[in-house]
Every structure is written in C-alpha cells, then in structure tokens.
C-alpha cells in the first residue's frame, strides 16, 4: 500500500475529470484514481484485448476495476485470462462522507455516513468469479478507501436520499489493500475464533456477517480445498479446515 502514490492518483483523476466541485457524469473519480494507482502510465489505459477493452494493460497484465456486479466481467475475464495475468480490483468504502448539493451546485451539508465495513462484504461479489479463483493467472485485490459521496438534491420525496442523485464518489485516502494471488490467500476472509468443526451459523457469528454470506464463503473455501466437509447435522453442512 502506497499512500503517496494513491494521493497522486487521486490528484491525477481530479485533474483529468475536471473537478472544481461537483463530479462529472462520465468516468467516475474512484475508478479513474484506482486505474492510475495500479497503472500510472495513461497510455496503457483502455486497451483492446481479445475482443474487449481492458481498463489497463501493463507489464503485470490486465487491470480491471469493478465496484459491483462482478458477474458482468466474466466474458471479458475469460478472454483476458487466455492471453495474460489479470487482476480484478474491487473497491470497498471503509469510511464514507456524504456531501449534499443543490441543483445549482451550492453545497448544503457534509456528514459522516454510518456503518462498519468488513472484508467479507466482498464475498457475494467474489462468489460470481468462483471458478476463476484457482487459476494461477487470476488475481484479486480489495482496496478499502475513504471517500466522499456527492449527491445532488434534485428530486422529490420525504427521504433525502430518495430525492437525490449520486453524482460521484471522490477518493480521499487508501485505508487498506488486500491481495489474493493464490487459493490459500482467500483464508484471509475466514474469521478468527471458529470451532474445529463449523457450519454457516458459526461462521456468521464469528465474522459478524449474514448467514447467506457465510454459506457463500464456505462454498468458495471448499471449492478451493481450503476446508473440507466434516459431517451433516440435519440439513446443515459442517466443515473443518484442511484439504480432503
């Protein structure tokens, strides 16, 4: 994690997108900053490869930045992986500020948004790429950032959020950078203080996550042979660490 390089990337994105205040409706700031952070040479951005356009192609292969709907990447990732290594960068907002603007662009207020981020928040998105996780050419990176969400108060309704449009998310700082370069790295998502034999209930409680997220995580880790089935208790499957 390089804070200085990330700050430079944020400055580059702001200058490129012409932000003097409210963000552009074109390429978003967070996407642009991360693209520059991982590939500082702009000439390598937006490169055609295998019938698709990659966010960046550098000496370490393809870089794809995607904050949600990772399943949409599957066709292009399949094509890219035939040619070279691929790193999917998945940003998560660890600390969020919300800045409200009038339709004329006048700032109204800026508040800290509630909520606590966990790395396992990425599991439902990552699950869509399950069958790529053991490909030696595939790499995944979670970037946890502090960001300001800009919202334009241009709608109607009782709820402030419902009567607004999100314009942009301005990256402010890089809080954490977690890399997954081989199957064993995905154990970084496994919570601590889990009993020897565990099911989705124990994982959900230990990791403070939803039960369906815990099931997805167990499925991923079992596929990667990092855990193995142990027993069945009624309709519930239980596992233990280690390959079968």
pLDDT at position 9 over 50: yes
Residue-level pLDDT at 87: 98
Residue-level pLDDT at 244: 60
My answer on whether 86 and 181 are in the same domain is yes
My answer on whether 159 and 234 are in the same domain is no
- 63 pLDDT tier (thresholds 50, 70, 90): very high
- How far apart CA 96 and CA 150 sit, in angstroms, is 10
Residue-level pLDDT at 239: 95
CA proximity to 91, closest of 3, 10, 9, 171: 171
pLDDT tens digits along 207-240? 999 999 999 999 999 999 999 998 888 788 999 9
pLDDT at position 20 over 60: no
Among 76-90, 133-147, 219-233, name the one with the lowest average pLDDT. Answer: 219-233
My answer on whether 100 and 216 are in the same domain is no
Strand boundaries in the chain, DSSP class E: 45-49, 52-58, 61-65, 86-101, 107-112, 138-152, 165-180, 227-233, 236-241
pLDDT at position 159 over 70: no
Angle value at C-alpha 1, between 170 and 84, nearest 5 degrees: 95
pLDDT tens digits along 93-130? 999 999 998 888 888 899 999 888 999 999 999 999 99
**Burial (CB count <10 Å: 0-12, 13-18, 19+), residue 49:** middle
My answer on whether 84 and 161 are in the same domain is yes
Q: How far is CA 21 from the centre of its chain?
A: 26
My answer on whether 133 and 177 are in the same domain is yes
My answer on whether 162 and 49 are in the same domain is yes
Residue-level pLDDT at 22: 44
Count of structural domains within the chain: 2
My answer on whether 120 and 22 are in the same domain is yes
Residue-level pLDDT at 156: 54
My answer on whether 58 and 165 are in the same domain is yes
The range of the structural domain enclosing residue 213 comes to 191-241
- How far apart CA 92 and CA 55 sit, in angstroms, is 18
Mean pLDDT for the chain?
A: 90
My answer on whether 83 and 32 are in the same domain is yes
My answer on whether 125 and 217 are in the same domain is no
Domain boundary among 185, 201, 227: 185
Residue-level pLDDT at 161: 54
Q: How far is CA 126 from the centre of its chain?
A: 9
What CATH number does the domain containing 196 carry? 1.10.10.10
Q: How far is CA 80 from the centre of its chain?
A: 19
Residue-level pLDDT at 18: 64
pLDDT at position 179 over 80: yes
My answer on whether 41 and 145 are in the same domain is yes
Q: How far is CA 220 from the centre of its chain?
A: 17
My answer on whether 53 and 35 are in the same domain is yes
Among 9-23, 163-177, 190-204, name the one with the lowest average pLDDT. Answer: 9-23
């Amino acid at each position: 994690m390089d804070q200085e390089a990330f700050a430079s990337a944020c400055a580059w994105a702001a200058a490129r997108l012409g932000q003097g205040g409210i963000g552009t409706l074109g390429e978003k700031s967070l996407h642009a900053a991360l693209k520059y952070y991982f590939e500082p040479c702009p000439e390598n951005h937006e490169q055609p490869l295998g019938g698709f356009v990659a966010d960046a192609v550098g000496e370490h292969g393809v870089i794809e930045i995607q904050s949600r709907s990772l399943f949409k990447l599957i066709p292009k990732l399949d094509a890219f992986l035939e040619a070279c290594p691929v790193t999917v960068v998945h940003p998560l907002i660890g600390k969020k500020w919300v800045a409200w603007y009038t339709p004329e662009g006048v700032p109204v207020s800026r508040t800290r948004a509630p909520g606590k981020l966990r790395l396992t928040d990425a599991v439902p998105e990552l699950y869509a790429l399950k069958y790529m996780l053991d490909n030696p050419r595939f790499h995944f990176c979670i970037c946890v950032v502090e960001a300001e969400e800009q919202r334009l108060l241009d709608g109607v309704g009782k709820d402030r959020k419902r009567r607004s449009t999100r314009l942009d998310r301005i990256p402010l700082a890089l809080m954490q950078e977690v890399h997954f370069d081989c199957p064993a790295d995905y154990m970084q998502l496994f919570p601590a203080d889990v009993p020897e034999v565990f099911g989705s209930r124990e994982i959900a409680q230990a990791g403070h996550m939803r039960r369906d997220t815990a099931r997805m995580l167990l499925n991923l880790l079992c596929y990667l042979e990092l855990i193995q089935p142990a027993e069945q208790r009624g309709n519930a499957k239980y596992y233990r660490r280690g390959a079968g």
